[in-house]
A and B are shown apart, each in its own frame.
Chain A
Amino acid sequence: EVQLVESGGGLVQPGGSLRLSCAASGFTLRSYWMHWVRQAPGQGLVWVSRINSEGSSTTYADSVKGRFTISRDNAKNALYLEMNSLRVEDTAVYFCARASTPAPNTGILGYWGQGTLVTVSS
């Protein structure tokens, strides 16, 4: 069974940093592109970032570019999101998601975790 479990969320002050992790199981992580998607309180889903299966190519939403870094450790079955210079507007539940198939860059998010809450507040 495919499982994605996010961790690392919490309360952080504006300007601070946080590193989210996503533990993957039930499949071979190195075969799939992975994504981060967030949902601010009372708002809709917003795509944040994606990384190819090897970890050699990354893409970011304009709102996080230069502040967030997506990475992966296929040997540890883990996906990460390093978040720096956090702003109040980064407050959200962050979901990791797996591409539906190993085919590159389909943009279809077949499996999702339950999310981890990041709160940026002073």
Chain B
Amino acid sequence: DIQMTQSPSSLSASVGDRVTITCQASQDITHYLNWYQHKIGKAPKLLIYDVSNLETGVPSRFSGSGSGTDFTFTISSLQPEDIATYYCQHYGTFGQGTKVEIK
């Protein structure tokens, strides 16, 4: 089974900061990598699919990159409403999640 290793598990940053989360697959998953945002008490939300494609309506400050086994999710300028836990996902496997907080 493919394992997805996401880091860090949590981070604290200031409004306006650039935030980066990484996700490493245990084997080559080509471009089949998605990113979700989950706010407490809400439904998870698809942000990015197939590594770098922004879901409709998602702000352009969110982006993704990578290929093969190593992937990166970036928030170019952290906003207060971005406080959430973020997950990478490849088919039936999610990363452990990264909790993003405001410093």
Contacts and interface: CB of A to CB of B under 8 A. Distances in A.
Interface stretch (A9-17, A24-32, A68-76, A108-116): A108-116
B87 A95 contact: no
A46 interface: yes
Given A46-B94, A47-B92, A109 B32 contact: no
Interface residues of B toward A: which range?
A: 20 to 34
A41 B43 CA distance: 15
Interface string A36-66: 0100000011110010000000010100000
Contact of A108 (B41, B46, B93, B94): B46
A47, A50, A108, A113 — most chain B CB neighbours (10 Å): A108
A45 B94 contact: yes
B85 interface: yes
Given A107-B34, A108-B50, A50 B92 contact: yes
A75 to B, nearest CB: 25
Interface string B74-102: 00000000000101011111111100000
B32 A45 contact: no
A107 B32 contact: yes
Nearest to A97: B44
A59 B92 CA distance: 9
A39 to B, nearest CB: 8
Nearest to B91: A107
Interface of B: 32, 34, 36, 38, 41-46, 49-50, 55, 85, 87, 89-97
